[in-house]
C-alpha cells in the first residue's frame, strides 16, 4: 500500500513551459548564441538547467554556469509567474492529503523557486517537504532529490511512489527502488514514459489517484 507520494513540479502539477523556455531563450541571447524558436526548446523542460546547457549545447562548465545565472535573472523576476496550475491538481492533492498520504515535492528546480511557486498558487499547505536543487544547479538530479526524502523521512520504498511527466522522473524513481507513475498531460515525447519503464501512466490529475490506489 502506498503511503508516500513524491511529485515532480513542472509538467506534473503546473504548466510552466512559458516561463522556463522564455528564460532559457534570454540566457541564449546573453551568451551570444542563436536563439531557437519557442517550440524547439521543450528539451529544456525537466532536467537541471545547468546540466541541460552543458550537455545539450556542449558548453564548458564555466559557460553553463553563466547560462544558469542569466536564466535565473529572468526566471527570478518574471519567469516563475508565467505559470499555471493544471486543472484538477489542487483537488487531487487535497483528496490525497485528506486520505492520509504524505506528499512531497521532488524536483530539479531550485528549492527556493519551488517554494515561491507553491506559495504563489497556495499549494504549499499540501506538502510535508520540498526537495530541490541548490541555486547553483548542484544536487538537483532526480535520483538525488528522491533519495534525500527517502533517507530523511523514513519512507519505506515499497510504500512510496514518484509521479512525474519526464523519463528522468521515472528513472530517478527506479534508481531508488520506488514505484513510478508517469503523467501523459506533461512534456514527455511519445512513448518516453513507457520506454523509461513507468509502471502506470495517468491521463489526468484525477487518474493519478486511481493509479496510486492500484499498487
Per the document, the length of the chain is 215
Catalytic: which of 8, 10, 169, 207? Answer: 8
Annotated catalytic residue 8 = yes
Grid cell locating 3: 503511503
Q: Which residues of 129-150 are buried (b: 16+ CB within 10 A; e: fewer)?
A: ebbbbeeebebbbbebbbbbbb
| CB 127 within 8 Å of CB 9 | no
3-state secondary structure of 73: helix
Q: Which residues of 173-193 are buried (b: 16+ CB within 10 A; e: fewer)?
A: bbebebbbbbbebbbbeeebb
d(CA 112, CA 121): 15
Q: Which of 2, 28, 9, 151 is nearest to 84 (CA)?
A: 9
Catalytic residues: 8
Amino acid at each position: 500500500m502506498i503511503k508516500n507520494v513524491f511529485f515532480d513540479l513542472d509538467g506534473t502539477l503546473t504548466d510552466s513551459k512559458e516561463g522556463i523556455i522564455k528564460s532559457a531563450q534570454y540566457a541564449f541571447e546573453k551568451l551570444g548564441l542563436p536563439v531557437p524558436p519557442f517550440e524547439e526548446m521543450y528539451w529544456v523542460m525537466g532536467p537541471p538547467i545547468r546540466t541541460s546547457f552543458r550537455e545539450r549545447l556542449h558548453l564548458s562548465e564555466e559557460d553553463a554556469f553563466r547560462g544558469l545565472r542569466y536564466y535565473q535573472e529572468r526566471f527570478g523576476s518574471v519567469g516563475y509567474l508565467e505559470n499555471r496550475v493544471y486543472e484538477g491538481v489542487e483537488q487531487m492533492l487535497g483528496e490525497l492529503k485528506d486520505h492520509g498520504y504524505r506528499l512531497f515535492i521532488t524536483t530539479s528546480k531550485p528549492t527556493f523557486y519551488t517554494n515561491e511557486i507553491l506559495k504563489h498558487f497556495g499549494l504549499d499547505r499540501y506538502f510535508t517537504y520540498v526537495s530541490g536543487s541548490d541555486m547553483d544547479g548542484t544536487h538537483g538530479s532526480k535520483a538525488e532529490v528522491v533519495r534525500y526524502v527517502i533517507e530523511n523521512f523514513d519512507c519505506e520504498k515499497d510504500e512510496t511512489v514518484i509521479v512525474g511527466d519526464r523519463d528522468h522522473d521515472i528513472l530517478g524513481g527506479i534508481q531508488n527502488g520506488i514505484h513510478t507513475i508517469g503523467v501523459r498531460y506533461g512534456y514527455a515525447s511519445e512513448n518516453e514514459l513507457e520506454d523509461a519503464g513507468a509502471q502506470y501512466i495517468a491521463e489526468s490529475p484525477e487518474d493519478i489517484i486511481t493509479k496510486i490506489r492500484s499498487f
